[in-house]
Copies of this chain bind each other. A is one copy, B any other.
């Protein structure tokens, strides 16, 4: 038995999210089906976390155990041969027994991408939220820094959250502007249900001038969903990277020459 971790990209447009569920096709279903075809085994995979319907991933991490003797350096390409074009395994790594993609994850980065301007770009619109008018990116930058550090993020989670604690730590935030595209990166030790999308809906209200950036601390302190902005669309969100502590992180390095 070997424990394997893989770094996986997917275009979530066509899927009902990452995790298997009674209704709709999911990314997990597709990967498990491809693993079965490749190895002949019924393998259950674990992801670092769920992503919702229509949300994408650049660096999702999955783990599973297998009896397959396929060498690691061939495993990713072999599995890609069985996967649909909108799911790509970027790398495969043999891990110490017991490694679990969700339990051992200590850090996640999400990217949220917005495009402004009258018309979206047809070649990137699957991965961008289209905001018809320009946004004040400086105001958004002033607002987002208030998220840094440890806070109760109850204002930024949907009513259905079943998490025992809404306290999370945000380590890094940044907003990059590239022409009419605005990419926001948020890194934290964990995220509540819909947290990044509600943060982004709130930030867009700041960018529109509807709210001052200085309102952000009050929104956080309220610990009340109704005090934050709307939930931004799923298509702008990408699970960008997942971090693991030593010693796991040393096995999860992507060879840059093999990656995009």
* 8 Å CB interface, A77-122 against B: 77, 80, 85-90, 115, 117-122
Could you list 17 A-B pairs, sorted by A, with CB under 8 Å?
A: A9-B121, A9-B122, A9-B123, A10-B122, A11-B122, A11-B123, A58-B123, A85-B122, A85-B126, A86-B122, A88-B119, A117-B257, A118-B258, A119-B260, A123-B127, A179-B260, A180-B260
Question: Which A residues have a C-beta under 8 Å from some C-beta of B?
Answer: 9-11, 56, 58, 76-77, 80, 85-90, 115, 117-123, 125-127, 179-180, 257-260
Known: A56-B123, A58-B123, A89-B119. 13 other contacts (CB 8 A): A11-B123, A56-B122, A77-B119, A85-B120, A86-B122, A87-B122, A88-B121, A88-B125, A117-B259, A118-B259, A119-B259, A179-B260, A180-B260
Rounded to whole Å, the gap between the CB of A17 and the closest CB of chain B is 16
Which residue of A56, A80, A119, A120 has the most chain B CB atoms within 10 A of its CB atom?
A: A119
Complex contacts, A86 vs chain B, CB 8 Å: 122
Asked whether A115 and B180 contact (CB < 8 A) given A88-B125, A122-B9, A123-B127, the answer is no
CA distance A120 to B123 in the complex (A): 16
Complex contacts, A119 vs chain B, CB 8 Å: 76-77, 80, 88-90, 258-260
CA distance A37 to B193 in the complex (A): 39
Rounded to whole Å, the gap between the CB of A254 and the closest CB of chain B is 10
Q: Is the pair A260, B121 in contact by a Cβ cutoff of 8 Å?
A: yes
Rounded to whole Å, the gap between the CB of A47 and the closest CB of chain B is 16
Of chain B, the residue at the smallest CB distance from A80 is B119
CA distance A118 to B76 in the complex (A): 10
Which residue of A117, A122, A125, A180 has the most chain B CB atoms within 10 A of its CB atom?
A: A122
Q: Is the pair B90, A260 in contact by a Cβ cutoff of 8 Å?
A: no
Rounded to whole Å, the gap between the CB of A129 and the closest CB of chain B is 12
Complex contacts, A258 vs chain B, CB 8 Å: 117-119
Complex contacts, A259 vs chain B, CB 8 Å: 117-119
CA distance A121 to B258 in the complex (A): 11
CA distance A257 to B132 in the complex (A): 12
Complex contacts, A89 vs chain B, CB 8 Å: 119
Rounded to whole Å, the gap between the CB of A97 and the closest CB of chain B is 27
Complex contacts, A118 vs chain B, CB 8 Å: 76-77, 257-259
Asked whether A88 and B9 contact (CB < 8 A) given A258-B117, A260-B115, A260-B180, the answer is no
